[in-house]
Amino acid sequence: MRALVTGGAGFIGSHICQELLSRGHFVLAVDNLTNGRLENFEDFDTSKNFEFQKTDILNRETLFPIFKEIDWVFHMAGLADIVPSIEKPALYFDVNVKGTLNVLEASKEAGVKRFTYAASSSSYGIPETYPTPESSPILPQYPYALTKYLGEELVLHWAQTYKLPAVSLRLFNVYGPRSRTTGTYGAVFGVFLAQKLNKKPYTVVGDGNQTRDFTYVTDVADAFILAAESDLSDEFINVGSGNTYSVNRLVELLGGDVEYIPKRPGEPDCTFADVSKIERLLGWKAKVRFEQGVQNMVEKIENWEAAPVWNSDSIQKATSTWFKFLGDNSKT
């Protein structure tokens, strides 16, 4: 197949590119390099079946022509991180909602055979049920989560109205090599890896007993490709590890000193995906054990560039916006 991966130079997108190439497909990676890195292509950019094109999903004039003769679209492009979305909601709406609309329209016009979308489990907010099924209420706590859900609604509507064969995959806490260690407020893995690179203590929020459904990136790439190979359409599906792990366990595996900082409001104590639907519909199940996944990252970390130093002061400064947004000014 001829596959196009938006956000192909990003963390998850580059792994999807690599896995597609390993299965004999042609891959066109599209990225504006705002967050993506050309270094993420180093393991496969010499393949004759790989091509990269720098463009922005908001630029319809340059975007639409490159969808010609494309069979599969993997829409991974978008803005992540919580605090920047609170500070710049209009930008997040433009990229995550309008950008998704552009990719859908380009796909429809080109007559692509399959469309897969990277949705976010953050759309569930703080769930009442664990493991969390797809039927749980959508309760986004901040603009990033909302815009990712609005993007999913567009995808499903295009599947219903225009018969574009499309599936939305709601991702839970993806980790692995090439994950970002920069950003105004990064995910826990990015923060900890940056601290490890700089030989700084790990800043653990709260008591560290909160748990996350850490899902290894190659398993996620496999889920996307299985969805593209299937005949499913107009479906939204959780992608998780089938387990949940404490932040303290992650710190233990990474090794190093710890500094505890106050808990942030609006964050769930647990993320844990109910993966029965994806197992039933796609026969998918995560393969990489958490301990093995963390070990894989630690083995590769020495080759990464030094990242900005994260410490308790910088994290507290970044999250003051979070507290203000949620009306808990007493803890800023």
Q: How many residues does the chain have?
A: 332
Residues contacting 254, CB < 8 A, separation 6+: 192, 196, 202, 294, 298
The overall longest dimension of the chain from CA atoms, in Å, is 57
Q: How many CA atoms lie within 13 Å of 23's alpha carbon, on the beta-carbon side?
A: 17
Backbone angles phi, psi at 59, to 5 degrees: -100, 90
Beta carbons within 10 angstroms of residue 223's beta carbon: 26
CA angle at residue 14 from 162 to 255, to 5 degrees? 130
Options 144, 185, 216, 245, the catalytic residue? 144
**Is residue 117 annotated as a catalytic residue, yes or no?**
no
Which helix (H) or strand (E) is 186 found in, with range? none
Question: In one letter, which amino acid is 310?
Answer: W
Structure tokens at 5: 């991966």
Helix (H) or strand (E) run with residue 117 in it = strand 114-120
CA distance 216 to 176: 6
- Give Rg (Cα) of the chain: 19
133 preceded by a cis bond (ω within 30 of 0): no
Q: Residue 85, Cβ neighbours under 10 Å: how many?
A: 24
Catalytic center residues: 144
